[in-house]
A and B are shown apart, each in its own frame.
Chain A
Amino acid sequence: MSIEDLHDFKQDLIGNDSFIRWVNSEFEEENEYWSNFIDEHPEREEEINHAIKIIRSLQFENRLSIDSDKLWGRIEKSTNIDSSGTGTKRNLSLLKYLPAILAAACLLFLFVYRNGLSDIKEVRTGLAQELVEKFPDGSTIKMDSDTKISYNLNNWKKERKVSLTGLAFFDVMAGAKFTVETPTGLVSVLGTSFSVDSRDGLFEVICKTGKVAVSISNDEREVVILTPGDKVSLSEGTLKLKQAVNGQPNEITWVNGIYTFDSEPLTSVIAVLERQYNIKISGVNEYDSLRYTGFFRKGNLPDALYSITWPLGLKYKIDGENVMIMK
């Protein structure tokens, strides 16, 4: 271990097994060697100290959370290790149950085969929360606040079906038919991206790329096909199409944190604001005849409140988690 003649003395100390053991053991192990070394090389004192500090900074702390007894129980079971030592006897006595076990296994197999293993996954977002969920085939969904989905995990490649309540943006990989079921409408696509708004009895779909087929839940005869930029919304029981005018596609702005409104009742706008910011707003009922056209952004409550109240000649006041609207 000729450390003396190497040009980066510190580097070699730090990489030296014995030195590491000495430092880590709080200078107990290998102490004789290293105390002698320090005595014999007083000129290296500073470098040695630096090396010690660097090694001490490479200290890790493991946070462990496995229930060790429970896991050991599993291992014991799987290896038939038994403290009482009657292992072999137990194995033989199980054999008499074999016919019954086989019969049960057959029944289980038949049941599963006929019904398919139900492996449904549910995901939901809370208020003021956003989430991206990835489906098994790589398709993704960006969920807005207070939105819930459920879909079948197994069998996904063959039948891609998602139930949705709330607001979400889908980015679908090419593949088998992809269906979105909402309480009021049905959306199906092959490979495309689009936004679905199924909040509070609303139903609105905006197509971003590809082609989207939209129909009302109970009536698959009336199908509207959307191409990029088109928007369809449910109005008085029928689907109304608003096609993209040249260069002016219907924007899916909420994905970028902007919520737009087109002559909508103030109470609806306030409901969206409450959901996005997870606050309670009072004093709006007086003004429920007012309609609002405009937008607000996520992430800045005073600005958002201002964007909504000022154009309507209203004022707001923030008091902790409560907001009041007034004239």
Chain B
Amino acid sequence: MNDLQLWKRLKSGDTNALKEIYKLYLGSLEGYSRKFTNETEIIEDAIHDLFIQIWNKKENLSDTDSIIKYLCISLRRELIRRIEKSNKRTGIEYADINDIGFSLSIEDILIQNEVDENNRIKLHQAFKLLSDRQREALYLKYYEEMTYEQICEIMDINYQSVRNLISKGIIELRKFIILVICYLSFALFFEI
């Protein structure tokens, strides 16, 4: 069952399709949301409203070959709106919608058997040097494997901006990472 078919079933009112989509993508949606905020209540409310919305609008949804992209576009908007609202209550003001942070904590960075604790710390430091939007673009590209076009739609910026975010982000990380991984054994990667 690919995305296109699942989406078509949803549009035709198949309630199981909604549940399947939920089960398939909840992990990604929560993971993405947690980079913007750690308040579970905000995340749950945003995801809840997202699913209500797509169910209510199901007949009018446009076709899509990437459900996760579609969900992320709406979710991101919802999250930012709620975070801004919550911040207003505590007196924090943001100049710009793009000032909302995207943070990677040290636990977010995977330890593979080749990367030990020290290097994880160094990687975390490298990520801290990037801007929020660079981190977000890298997360969408390398973890969610989105294409440039999909990232444009999710982050609501143009193609060239996405390319810049990713290439600048990688350039910054490369400076750090080359130092860190030069001792890793090459052999492991050559079992092709």
Contacts and interface: CB of A to CB of B under 8 A. Distances in A.
Interface stretch (B49-57, B70-78, B153-161): B49-57
B22 A72 contact: yes
A62 B108 contact: yes
Chain A contact residues: helix, strand, loop or mixed: helix
Nearest to B148: A17
A27 interface: yes
Contact of B178 (A50, A61, A78): A50
Interface in A14-34: 14-15, 17, 20-21, 24, 27, 31, 34
A71 B170 contact: no
B48 A78 contact: yes
Contact of B189 (A10, A11, A52): A52
A117 B56 CA distance: 32
A135 B190 CA distance: 58
B43 interface: yes
Given A58-B142, A68-B26, A17 B112 contact: no
Contact of A79 (B51, B90, B138): B51
Nearest to B144: A60
A60 B22 contact: no
B44 A71 contact: yes
Contact of B40 (A35, A54, A55, A66): A66
Interface string A58-87: 111111111010011011001101010000
A64 B52 contact: no
Interface in B156-192: 163, 166-167, 170-171, 173-174, 177-178, 180-181, 184, 186, 189-192
A53 B181 contact: yes
B19 interface: yes
A79 B56 contact: yes
Given A79-B52, A79-B55, A138-B91, A59 B178 contact: no
A15 B166 contact: yes
A56 B112 contact: yes
A137 interface: yes
Contacts of A55: 142
A75 B51 contact: yes
Interface stretch (B1-9, B27-35, B61-69, B94-102): B27-35
A14 B141 CA distance: 10
B192 A38 contact: yes
Contacts of A35: 192
A10 B178 CA distance: 12
A285 B92 CA distance: 49
Interface string B75-109: 00000000000000111000000000000100111
Contacts of A31: 192
A57 B26 contact: no
A277 to B, nearest CB: 29
A112 B141 CA distance: 49
B110 A59 contact: yes
Nearest to A26: B191
Nearest to A153: B89
A15 B170 contact: yes
Interface string B109-123: 110101100000001
A49 interface: yes
A66 B110 contact: no
A273 B4 CA distance: 67
Contacts of B18: 75, 79, 81
A134 interface: yes
Contacts of B56: 79
A81 B52 CA distance: 10
Contact of B143 (A38, A54, A56, A59): A59
B91 A60 contact: no
A71 B19 CA distance: 11
Contact of B43 (A11, A14, A66, A136): A66
B44 A75 contact: no
A21 B145 contact: yes
A71 B145 CA distance: 26
14 contacts: A15-B166, A54-B170, A58-B142, A60-B31, A60-B139, A62-B31, A62-B108, A66-B43, A78-B48, A79-B52, A134-B91, A135-B91, A136-B90, A138-B91
